[in-house]
Amino acid sequence: MSKLHYCIDGTSVTDKVLRYQQTKENDDYVPIKLYYDNFRDWWYRKLQDYLDRETFDADYDFKLCKAVDTFDEDQARAVAEKYGLNFLGMFNRWFYRILSNWRSNAKSSAFRVKNRPPVQCPVCGRFVPRINDEHLSHYKTISDLPRFFVRDGMIYKTETSPSTFATVWGKYTRKKLQLMQRGDTKIYLDERKKIRWPFFQKDRSRGVVCPFTKKIVPAITNEYIRGLHKRHNRYAVPMRWSEFQEEHPVILIQSEIYSVDRADNRSDDAIMAKDYISKEYSTDEADHTNLDKFAKNCRFEHSFNMIDYYVEDELDRKILKLVAVGYTVEDIADSLEMEKKDVRLQIRDIRDSCIEMESRLLE
Ligand SMILES: [Zn+2]
């Protein structure tokens, strides 16, 4: 091995790089490459968990090329002076930094691939890193607040703490509010106005309107939302951990860490709960008598919960669940021994009362 910081021909590596930047002659590049071939194995040992040797070698050559191209003499001289470093070693520092970045990128991307994918909660349908006690209480947070609310016939943007100005979006109509809550605000942009803060508490200090209770409160925080009546403060049925385990014994509460090559050699006993369930209860074998089985399928469970939560009538529930799993009016009429006409009417009724309920919830 040649002397530290010196190429085999006796020139310092840094000088050689500067020379090559001028000449672009292969003869000036080869000594640099030969010098750094000495460090190849050392770097490969650092990276061998993430790259195969061939990829590593190609990348290493490429990084060296890049480093030689981008080495900036003026900047290097300034840095050397500032920190009292030997200028001869400056290219080496530059290349070392590039290689170190490479190593940490390789490491973190490998970690990302192995990271746990989120799991879907069968009760609320949301994806979470892990289903735990905390999650199962299904409390709303300020991120669940409706974006707009209605007061005195006008639509306002929801704020969590008082400010100097409030944003008002013009006169309320049910349709307009529905579209806006869904994110279609563009068509109403002309009506948007900033106005002096209009909401005051009894003691004349500024407050915000709670979009759930319509009352004026000092501020809306996660704690405030938790303290509300359960009609307002949950987005799904709250559940105790013990109930959850009893009802969903096969649901994984946290996914396994799979490495990249895992898909090829999955063993049957380690299969994800979701796959297991859809294998057990495929759509074909279900009819209205075993709707309960559907409920164990993540995909339907969320809809079923919503239906049970909001719909009281037993027949309405049955019809809605069949609609949710993809039954046609004919199928439903057959399964429930009803007239097709009646099924249609019933569905229309349910839909109307849902729209009614939705707008009541949003107001
Ligand atoms: Zn949940």
Q: How far, in Å, is the centroid of ligand 1 from the Cα of 51?
A: 39
Residue 221 lies in a domain: yes
Q: How far, in Å, is the centroid of ligand 1 from the Cα of 126?
A: 6
In terms of domains, do 312 and 350 share one? yes
| CA 191/CA 173 separation, integer angstroms | 13
Under DSSP, is residue 84 helix (H, G, I), strand (E, B) or coil? coil
Residue 280's pLDDT is 35
Residue 129 lies in a domain: no
Q: How far, in Å, is the centroid of ligand 1 from the Cα of 306?
A: 12
Residue 199's pLDDT is 96
According to DSSP, the β-strands at 165-171 and 127-128 are unpaired
Q: How far, in Å, is the centroid of ligand 1 from the Cα of 120?
A: 8
Task: Give 176's Cβ-side CA count (13 Å radius).
Answer: 18
Residue 130 lies in a domain: no
In terms of domains, do 302 and 249 share one? no
In terms of domains, do 150 and 109 share one? no
Q: How far, in Å, is the centroid of ligand 1 from the Cα of 136?
A: 5
Element (H, E) at 39: helix 26-47
Spell out the per-residue pLDDT of the chain, length 363, in tens.
Answer: 557 888 888 889 999 999 999 999 989 999 999 999 989 998 998 888 777 888 888 889 888 998 999 999 999 999 899 888 889 989 999 999 889 888 888 777 666 555 566 788 888 888 887 788 888 999 999 989 999 999 999 999 999 999 999 999 999 999 999 999 988 899 999 999 999 999 999 999 999 999 999 999 999 999 999 999 888 899 988 888 888 878 887 777 766 544 444 343 333 333 333 333 333 333 444 445 556 655 555 566 777 777 877 777 888 888 888 887 777 888 888 878 888 888 888 888 887 777 666 666 555
Give residue 263's Cα distance to chain centre: 23
354: containing domain: 283-362
Residue 36 lies in a domain: yes
Residue 354's pLDDT is 72
Q: How far, in Å, is the centroid of ligand 1 from the Cα of 175?
A: 30
In terms of domains, do 317 and 260 share one? no
Residue 7 lies in a domain: no
Q: How far, in Å, is the centroid of ligand 1 from the Cα of 234?
A: 10
In terms of domains, do 153 and 213 share one? yes
Tell me which of 72, 98, 115 is where a domain ends. 115
Tell me which of 233, 267, 294 is where a domain ends. 233
Residue 54's pLDDT is 81
Residue 228's pLDDT is 93
Enter the pTM of the model.
0.44
According to DSSP, the β-strands at 154-157 and 165-171 are antiparallel
Residue 203's pLDDT is 93
Q: How far, in Å, is the centroid of ligand 1 from the Cα of 236?
A: 7
Tell me which of 96, 115, 134 is where a domain ends. 115
From residue 164, alpha-carbon distances to 99, 208, 299 in Å are: 52, 12, 45
Residue 239's pLDDT is 86
Q: How far, in Å, is the centroid of ligand 1 from the Cα of 304?
A: 13
Q: How far, in Å, is the centroid of ligand 1 from the Cα of 139?
A: 9
Q: How far, in Å, is the centroid of ligand 1 from the Cα of 358?
A: 21
Contacts of 29 (CB under 8 A, 6+ apart): 20, 68
In terms of domains, do 50 and 103 share one? yes
141: tokens are 């947070």
In terms of domains, do 220 and 307 share one? no
In terms of domains, do 21 and 85 share one? yes
| CA 157/CA 150 separation, integer angstroms | 9
- Provide the domain count of the chain: 4
In terms of domains, do 33 and 104 share one? yes
Residue 128 lies in a domain: no
Residue 5's pLDDT is 85
Residue 176 lies in a domain: yes
Of 122, 125, 124, 133, the closest CA to residue 249 belongs to 122
Residue 1 lies in a domain: no
Q: How far, in Å, is the centroid of ligand 1 from the Cα of 135?
A: 6
In terms of domains, do 17 and 111 share one? yes
